[in-house]
Amino acid sequence: MSTPLCIFDTTLRDGTQGEGISLTAEDKVKIALKLDAMGVHYIEGGNPGSNSKDIEFFRRIRESKLQAKLTAFGSTRRKNSLCEQDINLKHLTESGARAATLVGKTWDFHVHTALQTTLEENLAMIYESLAFVKNSGMEALFDAEHFFDGYKANPDYALAALAKAKAAGSAWIVLCDTNGGTLPGEINEIVSRVVREIDAPIGIHTHNDCELAVANTLAAVSAGARQIQGTINGYGERCGNANLCSILPTLQLKMGHDCVSDEQLKTLTNVARYVSEIANVHMPVNQPYVGNAAFAHKGGIHVSAIMKDSKTYEHIEPQLVGNKQRVLVSELAGQSNILSKAQEMGLDVNPDSMKSRNVIDRIKELEHQGYQFEGADASLELLLRDAYGGSVQIFTVDSFKIMVEKTGGQMTTEAIVKISVAGEQVYTVAEGNGPVNAMDNALRKALVQYYPGIRDIHLTDYKVRVLDEKDATAGKVRVLIESTDFKDTWNTVGVSSNVIEASWEALIDSIRYALLDMVKDDIEPEFVGGTHGLVNH
């Protein structure tokens, strides 16, 4: 490894400024602990002077012994005032955080237009505010807001602002591409000059408005920046911040920098998906390194090659970032795809057998009907196990009924499910906020006494797509359900001209798949019949 780098995570502050993202104080504590375990060096928790939620977070996080430096965020003092009288600076120094980031203006246009003050007063605001924080016993960091735009407009003034921050004792001077409009070549050139002329540790904070936040961060590191600021999954205002989930492995695995330990890097995928779940923001399947499709292979030629050596179509080993290789099976599938998936599940498969050819034909026929297995790995695994393995009927569904009633302004949905499990017939009734939720609740209620682990499973996403648009409300639909137990995530599919039936099919597969890890080899099948509820040993 070469130069060590400092990782500064601002998911809990800048990340929460993204549209649709709202975290409670408890959410922020949970995420902070995950980030700390992953080895980031600074965790920016929020602005303790802006809202009660952040104040509560800083109060609660004190009980945790973070290895990372907890950092509070604020701005330089108000114009023509004293730091001692600035209520926001007072809250910041009383937050209990070990470090404080102060954002200040470095673009003369912003000084005149946004602050409506003189260039000299802005420099005084930067110096006095950082010195005030440092004198309070906290480590001071300066976020040079709009630095690259400011440098291009008036380089002398932008550099003068950095010099003031250094003179005030700022531990880090962080160059911010706040509008996200700077190009990598410009970043490299400007950061190189700053590193030459400002004798202080330099950081980089980029935004993604040109889809260049990661590239700009890497360009800054190549030019000498040593602190990397970003967010998990690239969350942030407008188009987001630099995505640490892409930056971290690139710096460490490809550029040779020491960021976190190898074991901590292996938690990256888990952290990315955990934060996504807490933030209630669905992760793009094609997100580099940590996305569900980051190491997914569909074409038969690709699959045939990776079975010989994964380097043929993978730029790193997925396990290095905690992800895994996936082979997709669809209408494009060849025998290599089926063989790879079956081997992954430990099934004994003869690739030249008639059974394998029949399975491929069956998958292609189902996809012609509207099924989509490349987005429903769990349903595919169940299909292959039913075809190749010895299946045990853990439960069968005898019948289910849905009743929807609206009384006054109140809508209620009730599901009645009758299943056979462990040699017994179980009859359950449950309500929900809709048909799928009611069916889910009723099925769980029936199974939980036999498999308590079902309590840990919940649905995280539910999608319905109309396949035959010309048939309007009578058209066939495809339902995709995503489920999780906070350790793993899986997807199942159902297709029917009846949305309830399609949902039920996907739901049953979700529960069947969950039971794969819960069912032990000593369970004996006590009944026969039916086609639902097959679980393999």
pLDDT, tens digit, 9 for 90 and up, residues 228-244 = 999 999 999 999 999 99
pTM of the model: 0.72
pLDDT, tens digit, 9 for 90 and up, residues 175-216 = 999 999 999 999 999 999 999 999 999 999 999 999 999 999
DSSP code of residue 474: G
Other beta carbons less than 10 A from residue 236's beta carbon? 27
- Take residue 377 and report the two structure tokens written for it: 């790995």
Mean pLDDT over each residue of the chain, to the nearest integer:
88
d(CA 41, CA 351) in angstroms, rounded, equals 50
Residue-level pLDDT at 75: 96
CATH code for residues 6-260: 3.20.20.70
The structural domains of the chain, with segments of one domain joined by +, span: 6-260, 297-382, 392-536
Q: What is the DSSP string of 199-247?
A: -S-EEEEEB-TTS-HHHHHHHHHHTT--EEEEBGGG--STT-B-BHHHH
Q: Please state the separation of Cα 195 from the chain's center in Å.
A: 33
- Which stretches of the chain score pLDDT less than 70? 1-3, 300, 303, 328-341, 343, 348-352, 374, 389-392, 469-474, 519-537
Residue-level pLDDT at 281: 86
d(CA 499, CA 149) in angstroms, rounded, equals 53
Residue-level pLDDT at 522: 39
Residue-level pLDDT at 368: 79
- The CATH superfamily label for domain 392-536 reads Alpha-isopropylmalate synthase LeuA, regulatory domain (3.30.160.270)
Residue-level pLDDT at 367: 78
